Structure 1
Amino acid sequence: MAEEVPDRAPARSRTVRQKRSGQRQEAMREAAARLLIEHGPAAVTHRRVAAEAGVPAGSAAYYFPSIEELYAEAVRTAEGMRTTAAQAFAEDLTTRRRSSTTTARLLIEALYAPRLEPDVVTVRLEPMLDASRTPGLLEIMRGSWPGLVEVLRTVLRKCGYDAVADTDDVLLVRLLIDAALLHAEVQGSADAVEHAVRTVARLLDLASAAGPGTDPA
């Protein structure tokens, strides 16, 4: 009597389903992160994320049962995207002496990679501060800090501000960027980014042993 050969089709079918499920989860994570970065927390809903990810709306809650879980993954993935984009931005800069104003703008652009928009306070900064006050999200936000601080050090060095980059003043730069953006928003400034640029530039002039920098002619 011939030995029966086990039917391997069910196993292959399970593998295919698991792979598709993993792909859909990853697509939803990335879609949620993009929506968070581009439009803010209100955009992170099961329906909108599913549409952005190309996942059937009815199955979105299967992958992320609660909006809290979906939002946590959006924050985690967005911070990863932010750090990766910031590192690439800093590494792509050429090394040359730049003015404090130019350097300040580059620092802000790096910190708010992958893109810096005029509505950065309401769409990016305020949601990040809220996340930093939320149990479960705080550790995610803390996890991105060391990498972002190193990005700022790289930008400072490439712009000729080694005297700032090589001290704890770089931490002050990190804090001042957010504080200056918030202050501009509270004051009703027409351009919060430019307000922050001027504030951070002043700090660089004060903190740098070399004094104010100038762009080469």
Structure 2
Amino acid sequence: MTVGGTAKGARRRELIAAAAAALVLDQGPGALSHRAVAARAGVPLAATTYYFRDLDELAAVAGAALVDSWTAHARAVLDTLTDGDDPAAVLAEALLPPGDDSAIRAHHEQVLALGRNPVLATAVGAARVRLDAVLTELIEAVLGRGAPARTRDPELVLAVVDGAVVAAASEGRAIRPHTRRLLGILLA
């Protein structure tokens, strides 16, 4: 049963969803359990089963919460955009997680692992439209609406970022500069 019709219930449900998302991103989808999420959220175990009918529903909201956090990060970059910012640097900032190369590598390893859980993967895929919308706004803000269609495709831009991370990480290169360089090539 999905509950949480009160404001307090909605906040508790969001807290549990955020804890589930953080757990998945930190430890991978295999770590997702009612007990682990309850501990991460600082709520009684019974709260996770009260607000989420089963582990699949919890996984689904965790996937959506992950995309929402990525979308919020991209939105924050868009909101601080200034004239003259380097488009490749802006997009790299919006699409790479905070932190050093180790943090970026760990993030992408866990993102790749999402595909091992079909419920998480489906939820991430369904929520991706929200990230793409913000990314489209960001691309148009840094390139303008007259830019070539390929450079305005959020799926292609994200694929270049993901590919740059994999290449740089597997070849011992610095991730952020490599990502900016490849985005620069795409956007040229």
TM-score normalized by the length of structure 2:
0.72
Match runs of 1:13-162 below 5 Å: 20-96=8-84, 98=86, 103-112=87-96, 115=98, 117-119=103-105, 120-124=107-111, 126-127=112-113, 134-135=121-122, 137-154=124-141, 157=142, 161-162=143-144
Match of 1:198 among 164, 169, 181: 181
- Change in Cα spacing, 1:64 to 1:182, as seen in structure 2 (3 Å) is same
Q: Distance in 2 between matches of 1:106 and 1:36?
A: 27
Percent sequence identity over aligned pairs: 27
Q: Using the alignment, how far apart are the partners of 2:144 and 2:90 within structure 1?
A: 15
User: Contact (CA 8 Å) 1:118, 1:191: kept in 2 or not?
Assistant: no
CA contact (8 A) 1:104 1:200 kept: yes
TM-score, normalised to structure 1, is 0.64
Structure 1: any 5+ residue segments left out of the alignment? 1-16, 208-217
Judged with a 3 Å threshold, the aligned counterparts in structure 2 of structure 1 residues 137 and 79 are, in CA distance, closer, same or farther, namely closer
Query: Does structure 1 retain, via aligned residues, the 8 Å contact 2:56–2:119?
Result: no
CA RMSD of aligned residues (A): 3.3
Ranges in structure 2 where 5+ consecutive residues have no aligned partner: none
Which of residues 147, 157, 178 in structure 2 aligns to 1:166? 147
Would you tell me which structure has more helix in proportion to its own residues?
2
What secondary structure, in the 3-state scheme, does the structure 2 residue paired with 1:93 have? coil
Provide, for residues 23-78 of structure 1, a one-character-per-residue CA deviation record: whole Å limited to 9, x for no partner: 32222012223334455434433222212222102442232232221111011122
Preserved contact between residue 33 and residue 55 of structure 2 (Cα < 8 Å): yes
Q: Is the 8 A contact 2:64 2:123 kept in 1?
A: no
Rg: which structure is higher?
1
